[in-house]
């Protein structure tokens, strides 16, 4: 059962829990691995095109393409301005590149102005970028190699044979060979989570081309090689976690990995940025309009990767850079380097789905700096907490609660009903000129007095707020509680991400049943956390080693069982 994302307040009346159901998600029936020779529905490679207007210095054949385009746009602006409002051409005007492809099309004056404005933007250039206006990705079908069903395993273990129906270990009901060959990718099947072996680019293209998954992914978590010391980003053996850069013994022997290595690293950072931009472009196609993408990266390339993401997702869709602690000790020149970064972009900022997360407030810490007082329960008697009580709240004696003093009781502006005197301890107090009481003076203020939450500062009244009234503070973009080490998750992979990091990203951007994709599976942290939180997931890796680790992790994982708030729902 997925974990509830909220906690039940101490004495709150139990609200009936709503039954929770995954949306009726399905996916096309995929062919089994044995049907490869008979599979006839192959699709041609798909061409993806970049937004070339972002590269103002693109040149070839001795001509400055962007200058020519700029001049053409200026002409269109003049022509458009001469037309009567709304300055739209009778038919769209097209500007073509040297090879005859339509580079941009403008409907009228506004469009032309916008296209010209794009040319002015600064951009990041690297070797090979200008020459590559588009790229082709082979459209390969994804064959099923293995089906793993926890339900089938459990049923088999329970009784070997269930009355009436036989469950085979590692197998859900399968389709006949004829069906698979003739109806693969047409017939709809029940949704299943997936681990896919292959290059992320080819796999994402396949999800788009064969399975029509464009716009269906709610969140993408991508933790690519960081673009530094590339060799040490690939773990070639399941049992050997320490991998050193440039050590022949640690070099991968998998052909797919040699290819991935070459694609990503041939020209150093130049090929790395190309590798990333191609994949980000396909991620964008897969994301739903309310979706988000997180790219995990280190400080060496965070600036370049952010610029590439701005190109692909648009600057306006940037949400945040999250700094998270990866380790407590790391050598660095000048200062220890203990953090990594998450670049968070929405697919469309206007529609993106986002949930605030809270962490518990601790007296004196950020978000609770003013909570350094204790209040005797049911009275307005307060005292300062001792340093020991601030450091260890469990040392606060029973009958005292952590609180803050000086909580404002008035708000700006005159109110005919609330800008009135309030009598406290026999003395009238005014909210102040052009101010009003924030709670009603007839019921709200007397109730606060009865609870010991008001005190006099002489001329005015002030409030006392208990920490337990609002025990959480919204998390920000600095996560210091995520370092991996001996007291956190068990490390099975050389570049494993802390579960807490991925968990927060999933909780901030998805709801139960939503689809999460990780095209850089590694040891399967995203799949593992998504499974625990009741999200659907797909994860991809080009190497068998991490996939083997991830498969074992997800299959052998045990998740906490949570009792429902309302026991009537099972």
Cβ neighbors of 499 (< 8 A, separation 6 or more) are 489, 525, 528, 529
Q: How far apart are CA 481 and CA 6, in angstroms?
A: 20
Q: How far apart are CA 214 and CA 220, in angstroms?
A: 13
Rule CB under 6 A: say whether 205 interacts with ligand SAM. Answer: no
Q: Which is nearer to ligand SAM, 93 or 543 (CB)?
A: 543
CB of residue 249 vs ligand SAM: minimum separation in angstroms?
18
Rule CB under 6 A: say whether 232 interacts with ligand SAM. Answer: no
Q: Which is nearer to ligand SAM, 152 or 527 (CB)?
A: 527
CB of residue 325 vs ligand SAM: minimum separation in angstroms?
16
Q: Which of 80, 227, 522, 534 binds ligand SAM (CB under 6 A)?
A: 522
Q: Which is nearer to ligand SAM, 233 or 382 (CB)?
A: 233
Subset of 434-493 contacting ligand SAM (CB under 6 A): 493
Q: What angle do CA 495, 497, 500 make, to 5 degrees?
A: 165
Q: In 3-state terms, the chain is what percent helix, strand and coil (to 5)?
A: 30, 25, 50
Beta-ladder partners of 200 = none
Rule CB under 6 A: say whether 525 interacts with ligand SAM. Answer: yes
Q: Which of 200, 206, 346, 509 binds ligand SAM (CB under 6 A)?
A: 200
Rule CB under 6 A: say whether 260 interacts with ligand SAM. Answer: yes
Rule CB under 6 A: say whether 250 interacts with ligand SAM. Answer: no
Q: How far apart are CA 49 and CA 101, in angstroms?
A: 11
Question: Segment contacting ligand SAM (CB under 6 A): 368-376, 467-475, 504-512, 520-528?
Answer: 520-528
Q: How far apart are CA 390 and CA 375, in angstroms?
A: 14
Q: Is 161 exposed, middle or buried (0-12, 13-18, 19+ CB in 10 A)?
A: exposed
Question: Segment contacting ligand SAM (CB under 6 A): 9-17, 76-84, 134-142, 516-524?
Answer: 516-524
Say how many residues touch ligand SAM, by CB under 6 A: 22
Q: How far apart are CA 339 and CA 328, in angstroms?
A: 9
Name the H helices within 83-212. Answer: 109-120, 150-159, 177-183, 200-209
CB of residue 321 vs ligand SAM: minimum separation in angstroms?
18
Rule CB under 6 A: say whether 531 interacts with ligand SAM. Answer: no
Q: How far apart are CA 87 and CA 78, in angstroms?
A: 10
Measured torsion, CA atoms of residues 504, 507, 512, 517, in degrees rounded to the nearest 10: -60
Rule CB under 6 A: say whether 542 interacts with ligand SAM. Answer: yes
User: Between β-strands 287-297 and 318-325, what pairing exists: parallel, antiparallel or unpaired?
Assistant: unpaired
Question: Segment contacting ligand SAM (CB under 6 A): 61-69, 71-79, 540-548, 552-560?
Answer: 540-548
Q: How far apart are CA 256 and CA 277, in angstroms?
A: 20
Q: Which is nearer to ligand SAM, 288 or 525 (CB)?
A: 525
Rule CB under 6 A: say whether 317 interacts with ligand SAM. Answer: no
Question: Segment contacting ligand SAM (CB under 6 A): 117-125, 346-354, 438-446, 495-503?
Answer: 495-503
Q: Which of 523, 531, 535, 551 binds ligand SAM (CB under 6 A)?
A: 523
Q: Which of 155, 223, 278, 310 binds ligand SAM (CB under 6 A)?
A: 223
Rule CB under 6 A: say whether 495 interacts with ligand SAM. Answer: yes
Subset of 48-77 contacting ligand SAM (CB under 6 A): none
Rule CB under 6 A: say whether 225 interacts with ligand SAM. Answer: yes
Q: Shortest Cβ contact with ligand SAM: which residue? A: 522
Question: Segment contacting ligand SAM (CB under 6 A): 154-162, 166-174, 219-227, 282-290?
Answer: 219-227
Q: How far apart are CA 266 and CA 261, in angstroms?
A: 8
What number of CA atoms fall less than 13 Å from residue 62's CA on the CB side? 0
Name the H helices within 314-451. Answer: 387-391, 444-450
CB of residue 545 vs ligand SAM: minimum separation in angstroms?
8
Q: Which two tokens stand for residue 115?
A: 């296209």
Q: Which is nearer to ligand SAM, 330 or 469 (CB)?
A: 330
CB of residue 217 vs ligand SAM: minimum separation in angstroms?
16
Find, among 242, 224, 243, 223, the residue nearest to 232 by Cα.
Answer: 243
Mapping DSSP onto H, E and C, the string for 147-164 reads CCCHHHHHHHHHHCCECC
Q: Which of 52, 209, 233, 301 binds ligand SAM (CB under 6 A)?
A: 233
Rule CB under 6 A: say whether 252 interacts with ligand SAM. Answer: no
Binding site for ligand SAM (CB under 6 A): 199-200, 223-225, 233-234, 260, 493, 495-497, 519-520, 522-523, 525, 540-543, 546
């Amino acid at each position: 059962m997925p974990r509830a994302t909220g906690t039940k307040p101490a004495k709150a009346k139990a609200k009936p829990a709503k039954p929770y159901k995954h949306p009726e998600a399905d996916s096309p029936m995929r062919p089994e691995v044995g049907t490869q020779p008979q599979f006839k529905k192959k699709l041609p490679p798909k061409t993806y095109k970049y937004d070339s207007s972002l590269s103002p210095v693109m040149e070839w054949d001795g001509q400055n393409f962007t200058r020519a385009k700029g001049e053409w746009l200026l002409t269109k602006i003049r022509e458009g301005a001469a037309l009567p409002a709304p300055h739209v051409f009778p038919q769209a005007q097209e500007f073509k590149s040297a090879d005859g492809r339509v580079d941009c099309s403008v409907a009228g004056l506004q469009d032309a102005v916008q296209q010209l404005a794009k040319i002015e933007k600064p951009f990041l250039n690297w070797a090979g970028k200008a020459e590559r206006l588009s790229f082709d990705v082979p459209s390969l079908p994804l064959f099923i190699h293995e089906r793993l069903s926890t339900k089938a395993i459990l049923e088999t273990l329970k009784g070997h044979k269930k009355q009436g129906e036989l469950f085979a270990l590692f197998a859900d009901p399968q389709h006949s060979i004829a069906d698979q060959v003739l109806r693969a990718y047409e017939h709809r099947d029940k949704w299943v989570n997936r681990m896919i072996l292959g290059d992320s680019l080819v796999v994402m293209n396949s999800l788009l081309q064969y399975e029509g998954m464009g716009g269906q992914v709610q969140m993408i978590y991508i933790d690519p090689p960081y673009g530094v010391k590339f060799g040490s980003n690939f773990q070639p053996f399941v049992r050997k976690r320490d991998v050193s850069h440039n050590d022949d013994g640690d070099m991968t022997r998998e052909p797919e990995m040699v290819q991935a290595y070459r694609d990503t690293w041939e020209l150093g950072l130049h090929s790395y940025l190309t590798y990333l931009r191609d994949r980000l472009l396909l991620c964008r196609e897969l994301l739903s309009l309310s979706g988000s993408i997180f790219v995990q990266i280190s400080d060496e390339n965070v600036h370049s990767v952010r610029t590439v993401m701005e190109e692909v997702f648009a600057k306006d869709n940037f949400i945040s850079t999250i700094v998270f602690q990866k380790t407590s000790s790391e050598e660095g020149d000048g200062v220890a380097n203990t953090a990594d970064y998450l670049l968070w972009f929405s697919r469309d900022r206007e529609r993106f789905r986002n949930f605030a997360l809270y962490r518990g407030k601790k007296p004196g810490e950020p978000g609770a700096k003013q909570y350094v007082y204790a209040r005797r329960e049911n009275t307005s008697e307060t005292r300062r907490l001792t340093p020991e009580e601030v450091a260890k709240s469990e040392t606060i004696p029973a009958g005292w609660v952590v609180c803050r003093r000086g909580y404002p009781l008035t708000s700006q502006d005159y109110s005919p009903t609330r800008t009135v005197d309030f009598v406290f301890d026999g003395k009238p107090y005014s909210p102040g000129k052009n101010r009003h009481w924030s709670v009603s003076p007839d019921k709200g203020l007397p109730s606060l007095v009865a609870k010991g939450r008001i005190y006099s500062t002489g001329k005015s009244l002030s409030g006392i707020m208990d920490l337990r009234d609002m025990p959480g503070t919204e998390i920000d973009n600095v996560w210091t509680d995520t370092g991996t080490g001996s007291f956190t998750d068990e490390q099975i992979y050389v570049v494993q991400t802390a579960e807490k990091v991925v968990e927060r990203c999933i909780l901030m951007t998805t709801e139960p049943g939503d689809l999460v994709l990780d095209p850089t599976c590694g040891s399967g942290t995203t799949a593992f956390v998504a499974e625990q939180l009741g999200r659907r997931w797909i994860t991809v890796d080009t190497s068998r080693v991490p996939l083997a680790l991830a498969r074992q992790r997800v299959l052998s994982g045990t998740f906490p069982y949570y009792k429902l708030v309302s026991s009537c729902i099972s």
